[in-house]
Chain A
Amino acid sequence: MGDFNITVNGKTVPAVKGQTVLQAALAAGIDIPVFCWHPQLVPVGACRICLVEIEKFPKLQVACATPAADGMVVMTESPKVVKARQGVLEFILAHHPLDCPTCDKGGECDLQDVTFKYGLDYSRLQEPKHRNIVDENSTFDDLQIGPEIIRNQNRCIHCYRCTRIVDEACFEDDLGAYQRGYHTEILPPPHREIRNLYSGNVVEYCPVGALTNDDWRYKVRVWLTKQAKSVCTHCPDGCNLTHWTFHNKIFRATSRPNENIDRGFICDIGRYGYQQVASSDRLKQPMIKKNGELIEATWEEALNLIKTQVSELKSKLSGNAFFGLIGETSTNEEIYSFQRFLRRVIGTSHIDSRINRKRRLTFGEEVTSRAIAPDHVSYQDIDKADTFVVYASDLHSENPITALRIKRGVRYRDAKIIIINSRSTHLGVRTGATNLLHKPGTGLAVLTGIVDAAVSSTTFDKSAVGLSDQQISEFKQAHTELLLPKAAAMSGVGESDLRAVADSLVRSSNVVIFCGADFSRYPYRDEELLALDNLRRICKSAKLAVLPESSNSVGAELLGAYPNQYPGGKGSDAKSKFEDLWRGPLPDFSGKDMIGILEAINEDEIECGFIFNADPVRVFPDGNYADAVLEKLKLLVVVDSFMTETARLADVILPLSTFAETEGTRTNWEGRIQYTQSAIKPMFDSKPGCEILELLADRLGVSFGQGRPSEVYGELNKSLGDVLPVRYEMFKSEGAIYDRPKHQPKPGFNRVAYNAIPSDREYPNFLTVGNADHHRGPNTERNPSLLKFTGDPFVGLSEIDAKELMISDGDLVKVESRTGKVVGNARVIAELPGKVVFLPENFRELRPNLLMGLKEKFDHVKVTKM
């Protein structure tokens, strides 16, 4: 029920304080047409289509911007309203081209719909129609205003949704309304394009066909398409998408607004990231290696070959000679089936999903990090926070929608952002963030310096945060090398900046700390986690979120894709329970992690493996080593959708259906489990993951009878009801956050150990990897639309280094390390600090992992002009 009632067309309608007349009416199912209004934007009342009559108001009012008030009497169909509305529509249509049959928006155009419902069927216009001519020699008035976006000004109804979305929802500045009056034109600023990471939203929310994108326009008529509910797999934000399909082909992805997550705005990676489904390097058929060459085969042949070879190897060796790696974009059901297949059918516990880290992840370490448990953070917490700390993350490219939420807080609630990183990132743009740019590898000093600044301040109220004098002095004694002013000198961050940040954290009442991909890969991850936990101790209330890398990393952890963990995070004591469930014996509880597996292959202890939807050769931080080691295997079975670097090494390849052809659930960074419908039938001869895993198990003599995700989830739900109480059917409507175990923090500060990074004279630069614009991870390269934004691979150099080496943009350069070298074109990046070389990890042609050495803590490189 609402706070009070208003009357709309004689009907009593509840309204909540702060609601507009429009919102109250819409909630009650009363239709009022709108063009310029959008739920996430500040109302501007520009289009005037929503005019309504309100008693006691001399003039008609715009429903979209008029606050509802107790007892208001509103009429939406009075003669006055109808006349005004028809008038507004007539004005809008006067110079509108009215060539709907040739307009790409036809069939889903707000203007068509509103005209159909409320308009007149004649026009009084006698004058020639206005035309915004782009090219005198063309009758088309299309203008390309960005890599993907085309504008036709003639169709524009000047609702300013597009420019407001760019400004108010995306916090960018690359679209505006130029000129005045009816000459007003939607354009990017002079000499620029609209190319921000969220640019596609303007197309989606343009109510007419004025803005369209190359991706979708003129390929299919919208009314012929079917829609499927999907969830983006490109990052762990978990935006909800709709896939639009026709004849088993996807034609576009749009947002499927989810109030809890994306609120209707998605990034371009999610929008255009479906294109890889039809990529030319899709694996179409099973393949078998014969005489060193992969040749196409049937499923029967491939499965039989696997059966013979696995049985043969198994009879000679134990299950311990096998391993399995699974990619973290796989569904929960695939991950569960995969580890069950390995544990129960193959008989090995050598399973991992964390294939791109150098740090050895042992169970012990995980437990340590658990003791300082990352909190249960969700998007709702972002909306409550007044300060954000973003540590070692290029949040804008890694978690674009999380970044938007944060920016929203900055814009509309005056929240503050503190960014701690060794390279500058896009997040600070237009948000006035505090940037603590530190020397590579000195994040620990920054964090500890801030804590020291806080506890040393005379105004610090230790009792308010439950700290004792003793704990503080212990902290100081334990970190003599990391206290101020040493911390400042070591990290290169000003002492006053550290103090200012400390001060602002202490004052904040609600802090959320995020750490991202860079963090997970850092060699000091665990120490840094401890230091971040210390940071949390000086705040009145602070939550810590460790952002996972992939769309279902959380699911991988939850469902036993780790060597020392059963599904549901269960330990060795659950062994017999799972033996009962899977009706058979399981191998030793503990297995080898990624690094251990590679070592064991190298030492001929492991001879056979299954790699599912993962490309370690491409991403393992020592590419040459991974390549050489995997080559040694007697049998490598790769299940993947694409011909990856790893698949080239396979003895048998099984073609996997992509996310678009596979139903199932994934778990986003919040721990929210969400369901994806399959948009199209499996393409070519590929099969969905659960089906493949069932086929394999069956062929190897253990049938589970669970080839469908719903069946797998059924088992999960039954056996792990304590962690996963949600039934499968429920996901079809909305996602649900699973309840992660809670941990009690231990009192006082953690002790952080720190060893300075040795500098390397021969290889003087630090290698940092990250994402190029409009890319994320190794897969986005398969989406042509995304390539339009970034162009070719590049080697990012700071201005100082470029100058010193006399390198300018576009020069061919060689980057060498102790383990390898790559060659590429230089790009000078103004924001990059000196002595740092940036390589995007998005391009096959320029793989940064070829420069990484498993033995090196940090990757040092040198650059030379060629």
Chain B
Amino acid sequence: MQKHVLFENINDPKLHNIDRAIELGAYKAWEKVLKSIKREELVQMVKDSGLRGRGGAGFPTGLKWSFVPVASPKPKYLCCNADESEPGTCKDRVLMECDPHSVIEGVMIAAFAIDCHTSFFYVRGEYDLSMRRIEKAIDEAYKKGYLGKNILGTGYDLEMILHRGGGAYICGEETALLSSLEGEKGLSRIKPPFPAVSGLYACPTVVNNVETLANLPRIVINGGQWYASMGTEKSKGTRIFSVSGHVKKPGNYELELGTPLRTLIYDYAGGILDDKKLKCVIPGGSSVPVLMPDQLDTPLDFESVQAAGSMLGSGAVIVMNEDTCMVWVAEILAHFYMHESCGKCTPCRQGTGWLYEIIHRIEHGQGRAQDLDTLLDLAKNIEGNTICALGDAAATPVISTIKQFRNEYEYHIEHKKCLVKSDFRLR
């Protein structure tokens, strides 16, 4: 069911101005946190809410915070991950552009939860409007005294530093994001140590996604139980799904978790473009396996999507109709991951390029019979053997498309052309 928690006031054209935002309830939660909630209570409240990370992995947010050694003499840092670059994903952007105050209020609340006094906001380089809106929101919040020293007379200090990325997908990966913030090249780092123990400048650090954080003010105002009343048993609350591809009404839809995929595509996104047949859906950003038309009744929650063989990931739902050549899709995705691989670890650096080159060859009529086995084996050699999940992300679409559409690959190899002619190719 469509349920507007994050999108409650999203259509208000003035929402990004602090005065309007305050009229609509912004910073009430922050005030409440500062004046009447203890740190431990706040963490418990978020644990109770069942909120799980919206950045991709779905890790319980309250639990993540509780890994931070609060007693440590080192400073603690909170980083808002606004590097949203997973193909298909555009939910954080809407939040930052239309409701920036909720987002930075979320950052403040999370910072308080880990006793952090310096927070960072890492925005994707290409997100120009988001960047300007957040910059303005932070400025306004400082002016109104919601940030800075001795906030609202409570003695709590919090700085918020905005950082604009250089436009690298890898910098969304939390450890690469930290490297980038430190002024280094955005390269992932091995875990352990996990950022909660040793992150930014080797200090305890939490990285949370924009959407995750935007939920916090609502949870603080309405309580953890209220949030937990939405969604399914293990996947609480709502999520913003960014629907793209062959649908009549692409866009961001906030739904209660557990809403069936069919409802999202057919009821909200208006069904398949030109009423063609559905071929498949990527339900959680380009790095997750495809779901087939017979899986349309899968409820969109972490567990059910996983049971169906895919992942909810970043919540980007990419819909493809019957006219889509899957080899071509795989080629585009393989190119993306090759291009975005940071190159630190061997399997991803070498493997992503190799995958792309083979698929490119097949797509261009130079395939060989043994290529498919090689592709699968190479993908397996990448999967699970890399520093960060980008390697897995690159392997998955290859494995998944070969599994579901092997015939298209074989046709390509044999006939040196597509089995299905995509009628909308841009090149």
Q: Which residues of A contact B (CB under 8 A)?
A: 43-49, 51, 59-60, 62, 65, 67, 83-84, 87-88, 90-92, 94-95, 124-127, 130, 157-158, 160, 177, 179-184
* Residue of B185, B344, B354, B386 touching A94 (CB-CB under 8 A): B354
- Given A180-B342, A181-B339, A184-B343, A51 and B353 contact (CB-CB distance below 8 Å): no
Q: Which residue of the partner chain A has the closest CB to B360?
A: A127
Q: How far is the CA of A179 from the CA of B187 in the complex (A)?
A: 11
B192 neighbours in A (Cβ, 8 Å):
67
A180 touches B345 (CB 8 A): no
Query: Smallest distance from the beta carbon of B199 to chain A beta carbons, Å?
Result: 15
Q: Which residue of the partner chain B has the closest CB to A64?
A: B190
* Residue of A45, A84, A177 touching B387 (CB-CB under 8 A): A45
* Residue of A45, A126, A180 touching B190 (CB-CB under 8 A): A45
B349 touches A181 (CB 8 A): yes
A48 touches B346 (CB 8 A): yes
The verdict on B381 contacting chain A, using a C-beta distance below 8 Å, is yes
The verdict on B374 contacting chain A, using a C-beta distance below 8 Å, is yes
Q: How far is the CA of A125 from the CA of B382 in the complex (A)?
A: 16
Q: How far is the CA of A120 from the CA of B389 in the complex (A)?
A: 27
B385 touches A87 (CB 8 A): yes
- Given A45-B190, A84-B385, A158-B343, A127 and B350 contact (CB-CB distance below 8 Å): no
B378 neighbours in A (Cβ, 8 Å):
87, 124
Query: Smallest distance from the beta carbon of B100 to chain A beta carbons, Å?
Result: 30
The verdict on B368 contacting chain A, using a C-beta distance below 8 Å, is yes
B386 touches A62 (CB 8 A): no
- 3 smallest CB-CB distances across A and B, nearest first, come from A87-B381, A91-B350, A45-B190
* B386-398 contact mask (Cβ, 8 Å, vs A): 1 or 0: 1100000000000
The verdict on B347 contacting chain A, using a C-beta distance below 8 Å, is yes
B381 touches A46 (CB 8 A): no
A48 touches B343 (CB 8 A): no
* Residue of A59, A84, A125, A183 touching B354 (CB-CB under 8 A): A125
Q: How far is the CA of A95 from the CA of B382 in the complex (A)?
A: 16
Residue among A126, A179, A180 with max Cβ neighbours from chain B (10 Å): A180
* B178-194 contact mask (Cβ, 8 Å, vs A): 1 or 0: 00000001000110100
The verdict on B358 contacting chain A, using a C-beta distance below 8 Å, is yes
- Given A88-B381, A127-B354, A177-B185, A184 and B346 contact (CB-CB distance below 8 Å): no
Q: How far is the CA of A181 from the CA of B168 in the complex (A)?
A: 12
B349 touches A158 (CB 8 A): yes
A157 neighbours in B (Cβ, 8 Å):
346
Query: Smallest distance from the beta carbon of B257 to chain A beta carbons, Å?
Result: 25
Q: A88-B347, A124-B378 given; name 9 further pairs at CB < 8 Å.
A: A44-B189, A45-B190, A60-B384, A62-B190, A91-B350, A126-B361, A180-B185, A180-B343, A184-B343
Q: How far is the CA of A370 from the CA of B381 in the complex (A)?
A: 67
* Residue of A44, A87, A95, A125 touching B347 (CB-CB under 8 A): A87
Residue among A48, A83, A177 with max Cβ neighbours from chain B (10 Å): A48
Q: Which residue of the partner chain A has the closest CB to B357?
A: A127
The verdict on B237 contacting chain A, using a C-beta distance below 8 Å, is no
Query: Smallest distance from the beta carbon of A583 to chain B beta carbons, Å?
Result: 67
Q: How far is the CA of A127 from the CA of B358 in the complex (A)?
A: 8
- Given A94-B350, A95-B350, A181 and B385 contact (CB-CB distance below 8 Å): no
Q: How far is the CA of A84 from the CA of B382 in the complex (A)?
A: 8
Q: Which residue of the partner chain B has the closest CB to A157?
A: B346
A182 touches B349 (CB 8 A): yes
A183 neighbours in B (Cβ, 8 Å):
343
Q: How far is the CA of A179 from the CA of B168 in the complex (A)?
A: 12
Q: How far is the CA of A180 from the CA of B345 in the complex (A)?
A: 11
B345 neighbours in A (Cβ, 8 Å):
45-48
Q: Which residue of the partner chain B has the closest CB to A67?
A: B192
In chain B, positions 293-344 with a C-beta closer than 8 Å to chain A are: 338-344
Q: Which residue of the partner chain A has the closest CB to B392?
A: A59
A45 neighbours in B (Cβ, 8 Å):
190, 345, 387
A48 touches B350 (CB 8 A): no
Query: Smallest distance from the beta carbon of A64 to chain B beta carbons, Å?
Result: 9
A182 touches B353 (CB 8 A): yes
* Residue of A48, A177, A181 touching B386 (CB-CB under 8 A): A48
Q: Is the interface of B mostly helix, strand, loop or mixed?
A: helix
Q: How far is the CA of A44 from the CA of B384 in the complex (A)?
A: 17
Query: Smallest distance from the beta carbon of B386 to chain A beta carbons, Å?
Result: 7
Q: Which residue of the partner chain A has the closest CB to B370?
A: A124
B344 touches A91 (CB 8 A): no
B106 neighbours in A (Cβ, 8 Å):
none
The verdict on B231 contacting chain A, using a C-beta distance below 8 Å, is no
- Given A46-B387, A59-B384, A65-B190, A181 and B343 contact (CB-CB distance below 8 Å): yes
Q: How far is the CA of A130 from the CA of B356 in the complex (A)?
A: 14
Q: Which residue of the partner chain B has the closest CB to A184?
A: B343
Query: Smallest distance from the beta carbon of A412 to chain B beta carbons, Å?
Result: 11
A126 neighbours in B (Cβ, 8 Å):
358, 361, 368, 371
The verdict on B352 contacting chain A, using a C-beta distance below 8 Å, is yes
A43 touches B190 (CB 8 A): yes
Q: How far is the CA of A229 from the CA of B419 in the complex (A)?
A: 68
- Given A124-B374, A181-B342, A83 and B381 contact (CB-CB distance below 8 Å): yes
26 example contacts (A-B, Cβ-Cβ < 8 A) are as follows A43-B190, A44-B189, A45-B190, A46-B346, A47-B345, A51-B385, A59-B385, A60-B384, A84-B385, A90-B381, A124-B378, A126-B358, A126-B361, A126-B368, A127-B357, A158-B343, A158-B344, A158-B346, A158-B349, A180-B168, A181-B340, A181-B342, A181-B343, A181-B349, A182-B349, A182-B350
A91 touches B190 (CB 8 A): no
Query: Smallest distance from the beta carbon of A757 to chain B beta carbons, Å?
Result: 46
Q: Which residue of the partner chain B has the closest CB to A45?
A: B190
A124 neighbours in B (Cβ, 8 Å):
370, 374, 378
A49 neighbours in B (Cβ, 8 Å):
346
Q: Which residue of the partner chain A has the closest CB to B371?
A: A126
Query: Smallest distance from the beta carbon of A337 to chain B beta carbons, Å?
Result: 55
B347 neighbours in A (Cβ, 8 Å):
48, 87-88, 91
The verdict on B217 contacting chain A, using a C-beta distance below 8 Å, is no
* Residue of A44, A60, A88, A130 touching B344 (CB-CB under 8 A): A44
A95 neighbours in B (Cβ, 8 Å):
350
Q: Which residue of the partner chain A has the closest CB to B351?
A: A91
A127 touches B361 (CB 8 A): yes
Q: How far is the CA of A43 from the CA of B344 in the complex (A)?
A: 13
Q: How far is the CA of A59 from the CA of B384 in the complex (A)?
A: 6
Q: How far is the CA of A65 from the CA of B175 in the complex (A)?
A: 16
B346 neighbours in A (Cβ, 8 Å):
46-49, 88, 91-92, 157-158
Q: Which residue of the partner chain B has the closest CB to A35?
A: B346
A177 neighbours in B (Cβ, 8 Å):
185
A184 touches B349 (CB 8 A): yes
* Residue of B338, B368, B380, B381 touching A181 (CB-CB under 8 A): B338
- Given A47-B345, A91-B346, A181 and B353 contact (CB-CB distance below 8 Å): yes
Residue among B350, B361, B371 with max Cβ neighbours from chain A (10 Å): B350
A44 touches B385 (CB 8 A): no
Q: How far is the CA of A125 from the CA of B361 in the complex (A)?
A: 12
Q: Which residue of the partner chain B has the closest CB to A127?
A: B357
Q: How far is the CA of A152 from the CA of B342 in the complex (A)?
A: 21
B342 neighbours in A (Cβ, 8 Å):
180-181
A51 neighbours in B (Cβ, 8 Å):
385
Q: Which residue of the partner chain A has the closest CB to B383?
A: A59
Query: Smallest distance from the beta carbon of B83 to chain A beta carbons, Å?
Result: 15
Query: Smallest distance from the beta carbon of A88 to chain B beta carbons, Å?
Result: 5
B341 touches A48 (CB 8 A): no
Q: Which residue of the partner chain B has the closest CB to A87?
A: B381
Residue among A49, A84, A130, A181 with max Cβ neighbours from chain B (10 Å): A181
Query: Smallest distance from the beta carbon of A547 to chain B beta carbons, Å?
Result: 33
Query: Smallest distance from the beta carbon of A41 to chain B beta carbons, Å?
Result: 13
Q: Which residue of the partner chain A has the closest CB to B373?
A: A124
Q: How far is the CA of A177 from the CA of B185 in the complex (A)?
A: 9
B351 neighbours in A (Cβ, 8 Å):
91
Q: How far is the CA of A62 from the CA of B343 in the complex (A)?
A: 17
Q: How far is the CA of A655 from the CA of B353 in the complex (A)?
A: 62
- Given A48-B386, A177-B185, A184-B343, A91 and B381 contact (CB-CB distance below 8 Å): yes
B358 neighbours in A (Cβ, 8 Å):
126-127
